[in-house]
Structures are given as C-alpha cells and as structure tokens.
Structure 1
Amino acid sequence: MSTLMLSLAAAVSKQVKTRFIRQTHHAEAAQDAFLRTLLQAHCQTEFGRELGLVDIKTIDQFRDRVPISSYSDYEPYIDRIAKGERNILTPDPVIYLSLTSGSTGKQKLIPITPRSRRFRSYVNQVSAGFIAEAAQRHQRPLGKMLLTSSLQLVGHTSSGIPYGPISAGDLRLNSTLYRQVFAHPFDALKPADSLARHYVCLLFALGDPQTRVIGANFPVLALRLADYLESYADDLIHDLETGEIASWLKLEPELRAKLERRWFPNPNRAAELRHILKTEGRLTPRSAWNLSLLITARGGTSNFYFERFPAYFGNTPIFGGLYASSEAAFGSYYDFNQDGAILAIDTGFFEFIPEDQWYVSQPQTVLASEVIPSQCYRILVTNYNGLYRYDIGDVVEVLGFYNQAPIIVFRHRLGGMLSSITEKTTEFHVMQVMQQLQQEFHVTLENFCITLSEQDIPPHYLVNIELAPGSLLPDPVSFIHQFDRHLQAIHTSYAIKRPDQIPAPRLRILAPGSFAILRQRLLQRGIPESQLKFPHISNDRQFLAGLTIEQEVEVEEVKDDWARYF
C-alpha cells in the first residue's frame, strides 16, 4: 500500500509541476493575476481598508500607494490576532502562528490561514514534481524519507491559536501526506527530547528497506543526524536485533508504548549493519542505506557544510526542496545539485530592490520580469499571510531564467554584514573564503564564526574556528595570511581599505566542543532546533564570550605586503 501511495503522490506532483511550468511561460501575467486576486480578497480586512486596497487596480498603483514594510508594521495587528480578533490582516481565520527562528534577530509570529497553507502546499507539490522528474532522469528510485524535525509546538495564544516553528506547522497541517512518505511512524517526531527523537526515527528507518531519502531543514542538521547514527550505532543495532527501544531514552511513557507496538525485531538487518560497522569501523548514512537523494537547504551558508557531506553521504545528489521561510515560499528547486530556485510566480507577488537602492527609505523596485542575471537584490513579498511589500531582509542573486521566471539563489541576510570600517563584508564573502581554505590546507572545520575585536579602534577581524575531530592545522600563520589574501581577492571594498584602514585579521582556534556550547546557548534563547542556523559572521562582540581559545595568531604586517596579493 505504501508503495502505491508513493507512486500516486509522485504522479499528482508531476501534474502540478507541469501546470507550474506552463505558468513560467507567462510570468508577468501570472504575477499580475496573483496580485489582483489577492487585493480583491483582502481589500475589506482592517489593514486592507487602511491601505486603500479596494482602489488599487494596477501594479504601478500598488507600488505607489503601499509602502515597503517590515515586521514592526504588523506587530500590533498580529498581537490582536493572537488574542482572537478576526479580519485584521486576512479575511480567513488564522489557524497557526508561525514563529520565525530568531537566529538573526527578534523572533516574529506570522499568520497562517487555510488559504495561505494551500499556496505553500502547492509550492511543495511543485518541488516534489521536480524531484520525481529528476529522480527518473538520473535513475535514482524514490522511496521512503527519513526526517527528524520536531512536531513540538511552543504554545498557544490566549485565544487558543497554536504557535511554533513553520516546520512543525507544516508537518501537523499536512500529516496525512507525511504519514505515507516517512520511513518511520509520524509519532516518532513527537518526542520533546532531541536525542530520543533522532534515535527512534533512525531506528525505524534502519529497519525499512524502502528508505531512500533523507530530509533536513539545513545541512548542519543532516550532519547532526549522521553524528547520531555513528555515535549510537551499537545501541541501534542491538534494538534492531531484539525488537526493543532503548530504555535509557527520554520518551514519554504513553508515546513509548505507542512506538513499541509498531516496532519488531529484525535480526537479519541487524546482522547486515553489524557487518558494515565491523568492516568500516563506523556506521554512516551512505553505508546504512542505498540513498537516492538528500533534501536540504541550498544557497547561503550551505556550501560550507556540503564540504563534509561526502564522508557521510558519498556522492548522493542534493536537492534544495523549497527556498522558503516562515513568511513565504519564494521558489522551487528544479534539479539535483543546483543552487537556484524558480521564483514561485503564482503563489506570491514579488518585487526586487536593486543594490543601489538598498539604503533608501522607500526604494524603487523592479519586477520579476525586469531583474538582471548576476545582479543581487533584496526581495519583497506580498502574499496570503497578510504581508504587503514585506522586506524579509534576504539578499538574492538572479542566476538566470526558467522560461520567463527568474531563477534565484539566497546569498545572505541584509543585516548579516560585518564592517571594521565601512567595507560591508557579508556571510557569502566569508563562506567562499573558508571553503577555499579548507581545500587549500586539507583541513576540516567543525564550524567557524567571524567577529570583531572588542577594544581596538578600528577593530580586527577575529576568525574563530573549531577543527573537526581528527583534523589538524599545522601552519595557522599561513592560514590567517591566506584568509586575508582570499578575502581581498573576492571583496573589492575590503581590498581597497585593508592596507591602510582595516587592521590585520587574527585567527582564534577554539577548543573542541565550542560550537556545541554555542548551539546550546542558541537553543536556550528559544530558537527551535529545526530552525537553528549558526551565524558565520556576528557584530555581537560577546557572541563567543566564555569559549576557550586554544591558540591565537595575528598576521604580521609587512609594508606593502598587500600589493603582492594582486
């Protein structure tokens, strides 16, 4: 039955994808039609009346009369929605409030309605259609998925509206579909304890021969899953053999009883995995399953983590799924190992702010049909969550077009910039540099974060790194010299200001486990595990306070040394 359901789901997704592709031949018309329909639907909401949406008939009128907005413009209205008031931002009832991660700022609540959920599900189906097509083209048979995202809510508002991470909301609101595609019971996502949730999901997936896909919101979470598999291999194999679920796991008693009723011994599979463990010395996803693909976020900081994927996942292709946030679904990926996503032209209205307008209070925007490949833009969205010309702060690069629809890739957050003077170094800049350095020095980093020194004016760049277990850096002086050199090579503003204005960077090698400590700090701040993103640059001078520095190395300044970099 499960195989039949998977085949039916793939067939439906292919049909939805085909419909979307037809729309990409008429992207401008699709955008115009979406906006007109939304304005008509929302014009009698309280916010819609304040904006005068009923009188807006064209895209130009919309851009002229509706100001670009940020979360602070919506917060008072969302507070009222949380208390149970209706017809505020949307005419439809709010059934969930999506809590943003807060990794790069204050956490926000975004209204989810039945209609906005359907549009997001549509983008998901488009993505699934592209997955099915790519899997067929690359001869990678689809099967069950291992996913360890939590179902835990954060709570309910005073009026009873549930709120929590967007991933938990998506899973709960689409549970019928997910129950058919998971390699583990849906209840396996319910444990509050992270280790318990990962363990039981791994256990059931190891016992299911149809497991072919691993999903993770972010690449760092896929690596964490691989670490759990390696660390608890003996326990997992034991439970496979005996039909037990480890007694030491922190599982709620009623939930444990439910899961145990679904779990049976599988001694043959246990023997197979024990042989792999004995032969290879560890258990990894690539050795445990015959994987067809991984689904995880691409763009942004992802490539840094992808450097470590081959050791755990071999050459398994990576599909980006959706380029999405709590506020909106921005696009669908369309092939394996591609960073670009096709703009979701029929589920949101999008505008783009060119780079020369980023620091203007009400900047001029261009439309999806007007963007230029290789250019970066801030992206604005108007959608059925009740957001109008909403500036999420994402900076995207246009890679090209899929028919008439832009292909975009997330590069960094606008606020995610670091400046010793005024050079505006982005996360994308430092990600490129650190990738080069890992290859150049044959070193693997557990993680890194660039901060600024506290006492110096102007401050030094502090390149804080933690080496992966078993990895060595014999020549840290050369490493920080090359950091400086590579950053100048790719970042013109840094290169111009570095010789005379920006002091030399310093390398700090942190003690093992430092980023695990940082991870716990971020979780304690209330950031949901499934949405946890490590910032790789931070203006917070205390962000890494208290972590042990094993070694600090400073570039020795040499007069005119910068010139030899060019």
Structure 2
Amino acid sequence: MVARPSIMLPKFDPANHNACLSIFEDVTTNTKQIQDSVLESILSRNAQTEYLSGFLNGKFDKQSFKKNVPVITYEDFRSYIDRIANGEPSDIICDRPITVLLVSSGTSGGVPKLIPLTAEDMDQRNLFVSLYRPLPFKHIKGLSEGKSLLFYFLTRESETASGLPVRTMITCVLKSVTPANKFIWERIQISPHEIATCPDTTQSMYCQLLCGLIQRGNVSRLGAPFASSFLKVINFLGDHWTELCSNIRTGRVSDWITDHQCISGISKFLSAPNPELASIIEQECGKTSWEAIVKRLWPNAKCIEAVVTGSMSQYIPMLEFYGGGLPVISLFYGSSECLFGLNINPLSKPCDVSYTTVPSMAYFEFLEVKKENQEDGNDVNPVVIDLVDVKIGHDYEPVITTFSGLYRYRLGDVLRVTGFYNNAPQFQFVARNKVVLSIDMDKTYEEDLLNAVTNAKLLLEPHDLVLIDFTSRVDFSSYPGHYVLYWELGSKVKDKKIDPDTKVLEECCFTVEESLDSVYRKGRKNDKNIGPLEIKVARRGAFDELMNFFVARGTSVSQYKTPRSVKNEEALKVMEATVVSKSFSRKVPSWELHELHSSR
C-alpha cells in the first residue's frame, strides 16, 4: 500500500510568501483526503511495530485501527519511551529512527514528558514554521521594513543512557539552523544566532536586549514563544536598563558577559560609544510609568508576538500596558507532541484567536469534553470522532497519531470549535483538561480557576494594583481543607510600594469563590466540607524564583509556563518562603445553580 505524496507538506521556499499561502490553501481544502492518507501512511509503515502489531494483528485499515487501538495517555505509553531511552531500537513503535526525545515543559503536568521525534517529522515542523511566517506580513503593514526581536533561549540538553539527545522543541529549532540555512535567520532576526544559542540564559537575554536597543530603529516586531516569557524579558530590562545604557554609552559590554558566543555576537553591533542613543533610552526608562515602554523604546515596532491563549491570557493586560497599543498576535498552536494549527487572522483580538488545523501534521481525532460527564464519571467509554466531524461550539480534547510513533495519544488540552476555513476546522484553545484543585466532591478545572481569578483581579484595578502571576494548591493541614492562591502583585506606577488593603483581598477571595461552580459553593456551606479560600500575597520576584526552581530541573525558559497548581513539595517551599501576607474569604458564597464562568 503506497501513501499519496500529498499527505506531507512539500518543500518550498520560505521566502516565497505566495508559495506558502498556496500550500496552506491546498491542505485546508483537501482536509478529509489528507487525513485519511495520513492515517493510511502511518499504519502501512508501522503496522509491524511491536506496539501496533499487538492490536492490529496484520490489519491496518482505518476501521481496525479505531476498533482495536486504545486511546492512551502518556503514562500508558511511558514504558515504550523508557525502553527506547535505554537503548532498544526505535522500531518497537516506529519504522523510522527516533533521532531525539523532546522534553515537555513539565510545568502543566508536574513531570516533564519525553516525546519521540524522527528527522522526517522535524523537517515537517520546520516547514510548518515557514508556513505561518508570511501571515503577519499579509495583515500588518510595514512589517517587512525591519527585523524581528524575538527572544529565544537554548536549554542545556542531556542524553539518555543509550546516547539519544533529550532536548526541548525550542532547542531543536535553534539547532536546526545550520551554516547552509543561517541566511534565513540573519534575514529575519535582529540578534545573531550565536547569542540566541548561548547556553547561559542570563547572558543571552542581556545581549539580545542590547542588540535590540542598539538597533532600535530596525525592529519591526518583538516577542517570545509565550506571553509570560516576554514579560520576563521586560522585567529583566527593568532591572538592567541602566547597565545596558552604560554599555551603549561606552561602546563596551559589561565584564560579566564572558560567554564567547555572546561576545562574538555583540561585537558586530557594539563597536563604538553612542552616548546619544544611551541618553534616549535612559530618558524613556527613567520615566515614572513604564506604560507603552515597548513602543517608546522601539518606535517602528508594529506588533508583539507571543502565545496569549489559554493560561497565557491572564498576561494580556500587562502586554497591552507595556505595548502602548501595539497589536498582540498569537500565530500558532502546538505542543511537544505535535504542531497543530495557524492563526490566519493575526490581528484578531487575543480573546478571539482561533487556529486553523493543518491536517498534514498528524492524524487528528477528538474526544468531546462535557463537564457534567467529567464530574459524575460517565466518560468511561467516550466517543472518538474524526477531525472533519467536529461541531461548531463544542469542546474537544485532541487525540493524535503521529509519524513519530504516538498512537491515539490524548494531548490533555481543551479546544473549542469556532468555525471552518475551507474544510479545516478552526479551534480556540480553552485550557488544559485537568483538575487543578479538589478537596471533596468539587473538581476545579484550569479553565474554572482562570475565569475565577480574572473576575477577582478586577477588584485590584481601582487601587492601581495588577496581578503579575498566580498559582494555587489545596491545604489539608487543617480540617476542612481549603484552596490557597499565591498572588504576586505589582503596580503600573514605577517603584510604587505594594501594600494592598486587607479588605480588598478578602473581597477578592470571596469573588473567586462566587465564580466557582455550584459543587464547590455547596461544599463551602457552613464550612463543613471546604474551608474559606485563602490568598497569600507573595513578594516581588516570587514567580521568577519559582521559574528558576523548574529551570534548574531541566525546564526551558522559552517554554516555561507557570503551573496553575503546585503539588511538588519543594516548589511549595519556594512559594511559601515568599509570602508576605495572608487573607481569607469572610463570606460564604451562595450555592444555588448560577454560573459566573463560561461552561465547557
């Protein structure tokens, strides 16, 4: 059985925007045909692998696949990954050699996952990146008149016992830049490739900022993989702008920059004193408010690029504050397991972002997510449907089958269908499909918690306070147990003392509780099953310390996402050490059937 060549993205010139757009039109028009061919190709290649042969018994048609191959989670498949990591051949799951194990962020699930990847699949991912590259240029005028100041950071890689590289996806992308294709990077990026691939994140961040400030007039867009990581860059700028200005004024980089890659990269731009530029930057950074600081420092920037959907949505207000009216664009949705879809309307509001599926990237199936079924346990035998059969307005968890050896693998995300482009479904990313807090009968999902915190943080605005970041846990140290939220607060006014009123925080506690579902609120009645919710205010920089904790254990700065609940005892100690005040809900929420949050 021979698979049709149209199943995979063909090679094309990424500089040819018309070619990119033409291919995108083709794959979204022929969605069903491509999806059927993708599955046919994967099964014909891999039916004889140890994993699939145990289920298919020599049959590799679509019906046998759906009937006999189970829907799995990472834990169900982990033993096969461990075997490959320990030196067994790749063909226990895949007909092509596994060339790298991608390490996930490890912050959403608590423990990093290792995801198999072949060289062929990596080539497809690079083509996917090239496919979305022309979209901003199509919609944003003047973008081609400058370069991108996009902040990427290399993560130190490791090896398995058998010598197989273990890398993050960002590191794979950075390392895929070779002398032969480096011209593409140099044509697009402000910072030299050697600075982005410096293994010292602090030196790399400093020198990427220095490059961007020296060439401020040539920056047409800024960003980072995630909204949170871009805000960390802005905070880093807030701590180091005087030193950066000193470097520009003297034409000499700081002595603590010792990495030879950074020194080599920055020497191309920091070649002579420029006191005039240093004074301009000092004038802007020295103002009382940092509102619109991005626009003021980079006056020709046209947009900020970062993922701002799902749990990243809470950072949108601060991005907009620093951006000074620059549109915030979120270009694609993907994970370590699979790249999924593109945002074909980059200028849509962050809350309206939808991603159009690229059906060549994997075989996609979907489990419908119905919250009432999750709560009463009735989703034992969920129905799995094809990509083309999803319904607008419904929520689903993606189940993927890849060319790299994952079969009917649950991604753990919740996607909401918003429409179709040609014949390809479009999805909004809602949240992780994960219970983050639970004490008794209550089940608070990530989406519920995000909505509740969004409602509560509105109470901070009249007091010139903003929520910088948050996480949560359940405290069982007393009876009954209760929810604890860790909040890091800040101000839009520079150097303002953060001293929130206790009554305001108590009202925030109550608003969070009022925003949670009726099962939680009923559990709070008379404090019998669930105790009053607590907000612990953490000192400035607390969530940087939490990030450092995870980064020290292998998480990538580029891919880091603040966990919305923390169960790791060592990580909890990090947060507890930063607590400066505590407040509890002083009222019991009503428990009648009303919903302040959006239902799934």
Q: TM-score, normalised by structure 2?
A: 0.84
| Structure 1 residues 405 and 302: alpha-carbon distance in aligned structure 2, compared to 1, 3 A threshold | same
Aligned equivalent of 2:403: 384
| Structure 1 residues 362 and 160: alpha-carbon distance in aligned structure 2, compared to 1, 3 A threshold | same
Distance 1:321 1:49 in 2: 38
Q: Which has the higher mean CA deviation after the structures are superposed, 446-455 or 183-192?
A: 446-455
- Aligned mate of 2:502, from 471, 476, 479: 476
Aligned equivalent of 2:354: 340
Q: Which has the higher mean CA deviation after the structures are superposed, 198-207 or 428-437?
A: 428-437
User: How far off is 1:386 after superposition?
Assistant: 1.1
1:236 aligns with 2:244: yes
1:145 aligns with 2:156: no
| Structure 1 residues 192 and 122: alpha-carbon distance in aligned structure 2, compared to 1, 3 A threshold | closer
Aligned equivalent of 2:19: 15
Aligned equivalent of 1:3: none
CA RMSD, Structure 1 to Structure 2 (Å) = 3.0
3-state DSSP of counterpart to 2:140: helix
- Aligned mate of 1:524, from 545, 552, 566: 552
3-state DSSP of counterpart to 2:92: coil
Distance 1:508 1:565 in 2: 27
Distance 1:151 1:64 in 2: 42
Check whether the contact 1:421–1:458 (CA below 8 A) recurs between aligned residues.
no
| Structure 1 residues 420 and 150: alpha-carbon distance in aligned structure 2, compared to 1, 3 A threshold | same
1:245 aligns with 2:249: no
Aligned equivalent of 2:447: 428
Distance 1:207 1:419 in 2: 50
Distance 2:131 2:44 in 1: 26
1:33-112 → structure 2 map (5 Å cutoff) = 33-52=37-56, 55-58=59-62, 60-82=63-85, 83=87, 85-103=89-107, 104-112=109-117
1:193 aligns with 2:203: no
3-state DSSP of counterpart to 2:225: coil
3-state DSSP of counterpart to 2:139: helix
Q: Structure 1, residues 396-439: CA drift from partner, whole Å, max 9, x if none?
A: 22223223322222222233421222222122222222223333
Q: Which has the higher mean CA deviation after the structures are superposed, 223-232 or 353-362?
A: 353-362
Check whether the contact 1:352–1:366 (CA below 8 A) recurs between aligned residues.
yes
Check whether the contact 2:90–2:97 (CA below 8 A) recurs between aligned residues.
yes
User: How far off is 1:258 after superposition?
Assistant: 5.7
Aligned equivalent of 1:350: 364
User: How far off is 1:146 after superposition?
Assistant: 1.8
Distance 2:145 2:47 in 1: 44
Aligned equivalent of 1:5: none
Q: Structure 1, residues 511-556: CA drift from partner, whole Å, max 9, x if none?
A: 3333233222222333222222111234567753332433222223
3-state DSSP of counterpart to 1:301: helix
3-state DSSP of counterpart to 2:470: strand
Check whether the contact 2:534–2:585 (CA below 8 A) recurs between aligned residues.
yes
**Structure 2: runs of 5+ lacking an equivalent:** 1-11, 596-600
Q: Which has the higher mean CA deviation after the structures are superposed, 252-261 or 377-386?
A: 252-261
Question: Residue type of the partner of 1:552?
Answer: K
Check whether the contact 1:244–1:263 (CA below 8 A) recurs between aligned residues.
yes
Distance 1:219 1:454 in 2: 33
Aligned equivalent of 1:286: 295
Distance 1:482 1:105 in 2: 27
1:413 aligns with 2:435: no
Q: Which has the higher mean CA deviation after the structures are superposed, 363-372 or 546-555?
A: 546-555
Aligned equivalent of 1:551: 581
- Aligned mate of 2:472, from 435, 450, 464: 450
User: How far off is 1:179 after superposition?
Assistant: 3.7
| Structure 1 residues 555 and 70: alpha-carbon distance in aligned structure 2, compared to 1, 3 A threshold | closer
| Structure 1 residues 374 and 458: alpha-carbon distance in aligned structure 2, compared to 1, 3 A threshold | farther
User: How far off is 1:245 after superposition?
Assistant: 1.7
| Structure 1 residues 535 and 87: alpha-carbon distance in aligned structure 2, compared to 1, 3 A threshold | same
| Structure 1 residues 451 and 14: alpha-carbon distance in aligned structure 2, compared to 1, 3 A threshold | farther
Question: Residue type of the partner of 1:134?
Answer: H
Distance 1:160 1:192 in 2: 20
User: How far off is 1:564 after superposition?
Assistant: 12
Distance 1:565 1:51 in 2: 46
Distance 1:564 1:476 in 2: 29
1:300 aligns with 2:310: yes
3-state DSSP of counterpart to 2:503: helix
Aligned equivalent of 1:314: 324
| Structure 1 residues 14 and 240: alpha-carbon distance in aligned structure 2, compared to 1, 3 A threshold | farther
Question: Residue type of the partner of 2:126?
Answer: S
Aligned equivalent of 2:138: 133
3-state DSSP of counterpart to 1:30: helix
| Structure 1 residues 291 and 9: alpha-carbon distance in aligned structure 2, compared to 1, 3 A threshold | farther
User: How far off is 1:150 after superposition?
Assistant: 2.1
Distance 2:118 2:542 in 1: 41
User: How far off is 1:311 after superposition?
Assistant: 2.8
Distance 1:334 1:315 in 2: 21
User: How far off is 1:115 after superposition?
Assistant: 1.3
User: How far off is 1:473 after superposition?
Assistant: 6.0
User: How far off is 1:379 after superposition?
Assistant: 1.2
3-state DSSP of counterpart to 1:352: strand
Aligned equivalent of 1:207: 214
- Aligned mate of 1:396, from 415, 421, 431: 415
Aligned equivalent of 1:463: 485
Question: Residue type of the partner of 1:427?
Answer: E
User: How far off is 1:9 after superposition?
Assistant: 6.7
Q: Structure 1, residues 303-341: CA drift from partner, whole Å, max 9, x if none?
A: 111111123222211221221111111211222234221
3-state DSSP of counterpart to 1:326: coil
User: How far off is 1:262 after superposition?
Assistant: 5.8
Check whether the contact 2:369–2:414 (CA below 8 A) recurs between aligned residues.
no
- Aligned mate of 1:323, from 325, 329, 333: 333
Distance 2:593 2:406 in 1: 50
Q: Structure 1, residues 47-88: CA drift from partner, whole Å, max 9, x if none?
A: 343343852222x33211211122234333333433262433
Q: How many residues align?
A: 554
Aligned equivalent of 2:3: none
Identical counterparts, % of pairs:
23
| Structure 1 residues 265 and 362: alpha-carbon distance in aligned structure 2, compared to 1, 3 A threshold | farther
Q: Structure 1, residues 462-497: CA drift from partner, whole Å, max 9, x if none?
A: 232121153756443344435434553463443454
Q: TM-score, normalised by structure 1?
A: 0.88
Check whether the contact 1:511–1:547 (CA below 8 A) recurs between aligned residues.
no
| Structure 1 residues 131 and 430: alpha-carbon distance in aligned structure 2, compared to 1, 3 A threshold | same
**Structure 1: runs of 5+ lacking an equivalent:** 1-7
| Structure 1 residues 551 and 180: alpha-carbon distance in aligned structure 2, compared to 1, 3 A threshold | same
Q: Which has the higher mean CA deviation after the structures are superposed, 199-208 or 514-523?
A: 514-523
- Aligned mate of 2:563, from 529, 535, 541: 535
- Aligned mate of 2:127, from 110, 122, 137: 122
| Structure 1 residues 421 and 158: alpha-carbon distance in aligned structure 2, compared to 1, 3 A threshold | closer
